Chain A
């Protein structure tokens, strides 16, 4: 056990410092880089807070779309790796053309996956913000 603040809270604190305090103080041409750094901290903080749920949901979605009934592993790293593997298999099958007659069905389902990525990387984007 680590003492508080937890990892996400620490990153949020760094993001706030970079964005609100440091950014106005640096030369103009460096400000964008500081903004990027602040955003990266905020993304990682949200990823930590989201935990393993997005990987689990992606793994289940990809398995369903591939027609496989697989049990997601409990261990988070293994889960993330399996989600990546099933994404790669889905990508491979799409490229080969064997899913061409399912494009209309797959489009909204893959939007579920992309929405999960956006919730970490850019909240609000999927809702037009």
Chain B
């Protein structure tokens, strides 16, 4: 993105002013660099040498100029704060700046969490062997805590669903697909199946919306932080478990259906032990089918963003040819 290349000096000055207030003292000259990854929001690493010869680090997350996302970053800031209160490991939210503020576009400054979020490293590197053993129960506990947050506490940040959460989500992704205009009969079949097979409406809870490998910062001790809350919404908490189980998030470790690190029985036992509501398998299957529909549409949308020059990138372009992976998994689940 152009903003990443042309604005770092201005942005560094803005971040420095915000840190000056937070730290009650000028942090000095800052180094800013883009952390690659983030599909729709920019993430910057903010670094400064401290007096003791070490480094202090923060993470800045902000909207690219002119972008529109599902959860405004002001609400993401509030949400992450609530999650921290509920005991979910998250980067500590430190400051928010609105559009035209000291971060340029709307953005939030957070503590920097050491570790990696890169799935193949987490799943295969020897240094994360211990982390892999701990990760599954840690994910179950973090998710149970997210789902324990009272939706009433989020009323300002997230709208309450007006109707059946499963049907509302299905409608939302039908709209997303319509905005792309790509003919995907397998996805359309999935959308009809989701309409016909919606489970009884569950008690509304906070849904992270993108709870999967790639959005977890992991260190040698396992889960260090849950990040990327921009798809959060109020709905059926089982949606997060179904999403976590889709094959795309196993990154090749298909013998372990939960995020490539564990089995579903163990995950459910750990989730329920951590205070999560009793889990119904059919409901998980429903949301896994939904997850495949959603991921197929996201892939198509990213490719569409490339084709329409919203954001030119061979990575986004290539996702257009990955639509068929969740389509395949979807058709296996609903048959």
Contact = CB atoms under 8 A, between A and B. Distances in A.
Given A29-B36, A103-B193, A114 B328 contact: yes
B324 A84 contact: no
Interface string A32-60: 11001101100100000000000000000
Contacts of B192: 94-95, 97, 99-100, 103
The listed residue with most A CB atoms (<10 A of its CB), out of B183, B325, B327, is B183
A128 interface: yes
A107 interface: yes
Interface residues of B, number: 28
Contacts of A23: none
A109 to B, nearest CB: 10
A94 B189 contact: yes
Contacts of B185: 62, 87, 90-91, 94, 110, 113
Interface string B313-335: 01101100111110110011011
B311 to A, nearest CB: 14
Given A33-B314, A84-B183, A91 B188 contact: yes
A67 interface: no
Given A43-B321, A62-B185, A87-B183, A107 B314 contact: no
Interface string B185-215: 1101101110010000000000000000000
Contact of A115 (B174, B184, B328): B328
B316 to A, nearest CB: 10
A20 interface: no
A87 B300 CA distance: 15
A106 B196 CA distance: 15
A100 B189 CA distance: 9
B254 interface: yes
Given A88-B183, A114-B331, A122 B189 contact: no
A108 interface: yes
A80 interface: no
A104 B325 CA distance: 20
List the 8 closest A-B pairs by CB distance, nearest first: A88-B183, A117-B324, A94-B188, A87-B183, A121-B321, A90-B185, A91-B183, A111-B331
Given A84-B183, A120-B321, 16 more contacts: A37-B314, A40-B314, A43-B318, A87-B185, A90-B188, A91-B188, A99-B192, A107-B189, A110-B186, A111-B186, A113-B186, A114-B186, A114-B327, A117-B321, A121-B322, A128-B254
Interface of A: 29, 32-33, 36-37, 39-40, 43, 62, 84, 87-88, 90-91, 94-95, 97, 99-100, 103-104, 106-108, 110-111, 113-115, 117-118, 120-122, 125-126, 128
Interface of B: 36, 174, 183-186, 188-189, 191-193, 196, 254, 314-315, 317-318, 321-325, 327-328, 331-332, 334-335
